[in-house]
Structure 1
Amino acid sequence: MELHPLRVFLTVATEKSFSRAAEKLLRTQPAISLSIQRLESELSEKLIDRSAKDLLLTDAGRIVLEYARRFENLQGDLDNALAELRDKSSGRLTIGANESCTLYLLDHIERYRRRYPKIKVQIRRSLSSKIPGELIDGDLELGILTYDPEDERLVSTVIYTDHLAFIVSPVHRLAARARVSITELGNETFIAHNVVSPYR
């Protein structure tokens, strides 16, 4: 279905007149009538009660009017989104990150804001396990993770390499060791991240 006949129908229903709709759309009244007839034929439904003195919509017409308004709003949203895409100097960037990753972002965000002062940067603190889904759903534009989500719907790039270390008391039996095997750590008690953390 083309959107133009829906826009014509929306104008007719809003103006409650074929002639006023023709004036607003800069078209002839017969052209407006023909557009409505073609839309009715395509939908196999009568949209306007032509037996009424005033312009009245049928039940089907009222349903189509509701969706025509939605399409019109979506068209406006699409135009705004494309305009924002063309103008990189304004807009919003929503970044999802867990608590530890947000610390690494501060310097980068400061430089980004200096370069794009009109772009609003929002940091949304979230669990690492939830960030891939939020990216896929479109709730985030960018996610900072400590692991590769391995999802073909996402593209990941390594931006920083971190190093993990075990910390023990100076008097601990392993404190003087330069290397420790995983087997030796098997019987140790740890203070660690919560269960849902990738680090754990």
Structure 2
Amino acid sequence: MKTVAFFFDFSSPFAYLASTQIEALAARKGAKVSYRPFLLGALFKTIGTPNVPLFAMPEPKRRHAMADLLRWAAHWGVPFNFASRFPMNTVKPLRMVLEVPDEQRATLVNALYRAYWVLDRDISADEVLTDVASAAGFDGPRLLASTADERVKLRLKEATEEAERLGLCGAPSFLVDDLLFWGQDRLLFVEKALDGWRPKEQA
């Protein structure tokens, strides 16, 4: 079965928007989604990007980016509210996702994204994380406890290092075979790649 790797961090509103589309896109192409959490802030630090690129933009560009978020949400017909707590510390929710089998991750990922980018909940808070995971059908207390496990901490560190090795510069990013795409506005290319398309420079 074809696979699209979806690299994400809950801190990115653009990655949230992508998360609302990626499963349906993969289903249309008979593919599966591999959910690949990584720590976006750590990647930014390593590659020399401002920790919160939105805040580093000049005001006209920042206004456009914010308008773009709302336009994409409206285009796809999905709920979106810019979080009142931004940026968000997402270390714990990312570690929780790593403790869930890949085939079950979509449920937890979608629940956590909805909690943050729709319901404006604090997904750095232990009680919120436990509640969201439990409501999604997981053992919330166990997943929360796992975030303090050194083994799980190492897995997130290694996942972030892998993202750097693969050449990621932000989230969301998508990998189909050896083709890497960045941005929720590149989902068209992801879909084409799952059909076997290759850009001319990589033919």
Structure 2 length-normalised TM: 0.22
The structure where helix makes up a greater share of residues is: 2
Structure 1 length-normalised TM: 0.22
Greater C-alpha radius of gyration: 1
- Relative contact order (alpha carbons < 8 A, sep ≥ 6): 1 or 2 greater? 2
